[in-house]
């Protein structure tokens, strides 16, 4: 079957790939059926007192929708800032430097996010593939690759796969084969999408004829394939390809955390920071919330919008259903550890390199951040992005040990690192008590078995978060989940 992807040139495809975020040309998958419908609730005639637990994007979007509808809303956030896993890091780095330690990028298909971004007049910066060569360190070999170079990859590939390279493999085994239904996330529980949940990403590639070497090459070069044997084919298709890669990727100038900060600002005194919720008691006519300071809050309805594994730290009375508890315990999260090495200047530019690299080592993927005040000579940052079991193992080490190990690994790519290194910073999301891991990452069968249970209300307690959305691991999924939970309360769907 011929698809509109046949019209995409190799050059354009390469240009749309940057910093490990494989985004394709706008409109390739995007369906006009995706909209911001339901974002604005009708004004209520029966105002309720509503408590929202968690100030990430899901909690913020729920609070905004319900407050605009006329409800009395209070949001409790355990951190001293809004955003949750949308977090821009500016300190301890030099002036002119900032990095994203959390969510990396938006897409032009993110209708709910775009509505707020436009409202707050935030400036969008498109991703761009660097013109300079990218380094690959695989199977002990260092390879320098320009945009149009043919590479001898150190894996057993078929003759065709050798010519295709990583991006060509993605086009052959994913873009050209995925069903058009992936553009409509509402159809996730219907054929043909639901059948995809029973195959892993790796199995899906095998079904399309991919060699084991091709699976390994995609694993080590594509962010969405970090754990190919443990990734639901359905989640991959709908969240990564149907949504994110359906449009052009971008970041927010000044930092992605400007979106949650502006959302929080629009909520005024609604948010209470440094309040950690310990227990939720649903008495039927009201819900009581117990906090770390023994302060008790009361509400008619509650939305719990904390990360998946943090749910297990909250005591619920009545206890959660066995199905919901099984879902919370069973659905995995993708552990992510990001190590940032600040250097006095972008020394890799002297060798004509981009600073980007992909490895099959503990180092993971390498991203370069340049100084927005002086990109050529100012202080810069090399980041090690590690996902999966290696990320969890790193997160169990002391920060100095992680920095030392990552510097040792980075030396294999950039021997000058020790001469230019000035400071390091580690963010292990598995060690963050208010996250306990990165985004939810359903394994084969998990969407079928658990997604509806994760969404289901428990009496007067409703649930939001990217883990309650088919659009897992995306900022758009988080925003939409908050609006869904707000609509449940507004429509009385207990």
Tens digit of each residue's pLDDT (9 = 90 or more) over 10-57: 333 444 443 333 333 333 444 433 455 566 778 888 899 999 999 999
Q: For the segment 230-269, what is each residue's pLDDT rounded down to a tens digit? A: 999 999 999 999 999 888 999 999 999 999 999 999 999 9
Average pLDDT for residues 65-85, to the nearest whole number? 97
**pLDDT for 10:** 38
d(CA 153, CA 348): 23
Q: Which of 309, 476, 276 is nearest to 392 (CA)?
A: 309
Q: For the segment 404-429, what is each residue's pLDDT rounded down to a tens digit? A: 999 999 999 999 999 999 999 999 99
Q: For the segment 464-485, what is each residue's pLDDT rounded down to a tens digit? A: 999 999 999 999 999 999 999 9
d(CA 256, CA 101): 10
d(CA 104, CA 375): 20
Compute the CA torsion angle 52, 54, 459, 113 (nearest 10 deg). 80
d(CA 122, CA 254): 9
Q: Which residues, 6+ apart, have CB-to-CB distance to 405 below 8 Å?
A: 362, 394, 397
Q: Which of 192-201, 239-248, 312-321, 338-347 has the lowest mean pLDDT?
A: 239-248
Query: What percentage of the chain carries pLDDT values higher than 70?
Result: 91
**pLDDT for 230:** 97
d(CA 122, CA 32): 23
Are 432 and 392 contacting, i.e. CB atoms less than 8 angstroms apart?
no
Compute the CA torsion angle 283, 284, 290, 295 (nearest 10 deg). -90
d(CA 5, CA 175): 7
Q: Which residues, 6+ apart, have CB-to-CB distance to 208 below 8 Å?
A: 172, 173, 177
224, 312, 411 from 230: Cα distances, Å: 11, 22, 31
Q: Which residues, 6+ apart, have CB-to-CB distance to 432 below 8 Å?
A: none
Parallel/antiparallel/unpaired status of strands 421-428 and 336-343: antiparallel
283, 453, 485 from 262: Cα distances, Å: 35, 32, 21
Give the pLDDT band of residue 335 (cuts 50, 70, 90).
very high
How are the residues of the chain apportioned to helix, strand and coil, as percentages rounded to the nearest 5? 35, 20, 40
3-state SS string over 163-180? Answer: HHHHHHHHHHHHHCCCCH
Compute the CA torsion angle 407, 409, 415, 417 (nearest 10 deg). -20
Are 397 and 373 contacting, i.e. CB atoms less than 8 angstroms apart?
no
CB atoms within 10 A of CB 103: 26
Residue 146 has pLDDT above 90, yes or no: no
**pLDDT for 485:** 97
Residue 117 has pLDDT above 60, yes or no: yes
List the structure tokens of 21.
């975020």
Burial of residue 423, with CB atoms counted within 10 A of its CB: 0-12 exposed, 13-18 middle, 19 or more buried = middle
Give the pLDDT band of residue 381 (cuts 50, 70, 90).
very high
DSSP per position, 351-380: GT--S-EEESSTT-EEEEE--SS-TTTS-E
Are 112 and 61 contacting, i.e. CB atoms less than 8 angstroms apart?
yes
d(CA 492, CA 170): 44
List the structure tokens of 168.
């060509």
Q: Which residues, 6+ apart, have CB-to-CB distance to 324 below 8 Å?
A: 453, 454, 456, 458
Average pLDDT for residues 262-289, to the nearest whole number? 97
**pLDDT for 44:** 84
DSSP per position, 47-61: --EEEEE--BHHHHH
153-158 long-range contacts (CB < 8 A, ≥24 apart) are: 153/213, 153/217, 155/213, 155/214, 155/216, 155/217, 156/211, 156/212, 156/213, 157/211, 157/213, 157/214, 157/217, 158/211, 158/214
**pLDDT for 38:** 61
Q: Alpha carbon 112 to chain centroid distance?
A: 16
Average pLDDT for residues 287-311, to the nearest whole number? 96
CB atoms within 10 A of CB 341: 22
Which residues is 382 bridged to in the sheet? 341, 368
């Amino acid at each position: 079957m011929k698809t509109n992807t046949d019209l995409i040139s190799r050059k354009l495809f390469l240009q749309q790939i940057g910093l490990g975020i494989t985004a394709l040309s706008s409109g390739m998958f995007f369906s006009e059926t995706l909209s911001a419908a339901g974002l604005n609730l009708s004004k209520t005639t029966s105002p309720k007192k509503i408590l929202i637990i968690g100030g990430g994007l899901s909690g913020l979007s729920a609070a905004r929708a319900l407050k605009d509808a006329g409800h009395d809303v209070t949001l409790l956030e355990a951190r001293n800032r809004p955003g949750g896993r949308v977090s821009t890091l500016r300190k301890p780095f030099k002036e002119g430097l900032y990095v994203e330690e959390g969510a990396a990028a938006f897409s032009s298909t993110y209708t709910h996010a775009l509505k707020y971004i436009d409202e707050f007049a935030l400036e969008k910066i498109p991703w761009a593939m660097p013109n300079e060569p990218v380094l690959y360190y695989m199977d002990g070999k260092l390879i320098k690759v320009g945009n149009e170079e043919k590479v001898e990859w150190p894996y057993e590939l078929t003759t065709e796969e050798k010519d295709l390279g990583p991006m060509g493999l993605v086009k052959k085994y994913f873009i050209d084969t995925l069903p058009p239904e992936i553009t409509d996330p509402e159809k996730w529980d219907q054929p043909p999408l639901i059948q995809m949940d029973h195959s892993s990403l790796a199995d899906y590639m095998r079904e399309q004829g991919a060699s084991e070497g091709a699976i390994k090459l995609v694993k080590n070069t594509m962010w969405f394939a970090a754990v190919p044997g443990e990734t639901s084919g359905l989640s991959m298709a709908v969240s990564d390809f149907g949504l994110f890669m359906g449009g052009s990727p971008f970041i927010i100038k000044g930092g992605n955390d400007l979106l949650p900060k502006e959302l929080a600002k629009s909520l005024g005194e609604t948010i209470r920071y440094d309040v950690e919720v310990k227990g939720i008691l649903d008495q039927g006519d009201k819900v009581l919330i117990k906090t770390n300071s023994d302060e008790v809050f009361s509400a008619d309805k509650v939305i719990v919008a904390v990360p998946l594994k943090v749910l297990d730290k909250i005591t619920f009375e009545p206890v959660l259903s066995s199905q919901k508890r099984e879902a919370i315990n069973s659905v995995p999260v993708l552990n992510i550890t990001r190590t940032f090495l600040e250097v006095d200047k972008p020394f890799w530019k002297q060798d004509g390199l981009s600073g980007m690299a992909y490895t099959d080592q503990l180092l993971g993927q390498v991203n370069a951040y340049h100084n927005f005040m002086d990109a050529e000579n100012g202080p810069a940052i090399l980041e090690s992005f590690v996902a999966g079991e290696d990320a969890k193992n790193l997160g169990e080490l002391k920060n100095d040990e992680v920095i030392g190990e990552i510097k040792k690994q980075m030396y294999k790519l950039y021997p000058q690192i020790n001469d230019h290194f000035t400071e390091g910073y580690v963010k292990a999301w598995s060690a963050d008590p208010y996250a306990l891991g990165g985004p939810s990452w359903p394994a084969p069968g998990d969407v079928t078995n658990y997604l509806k249970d994760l969404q289901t209300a428990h009496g007067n307690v409703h649930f939001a978060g990217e883990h309650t959305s088919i659009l897992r691991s995306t900022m758009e999924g988080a925003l939409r989940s908050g609006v869904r939970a707000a609509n449940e309360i507004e429509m009385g769907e207990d």
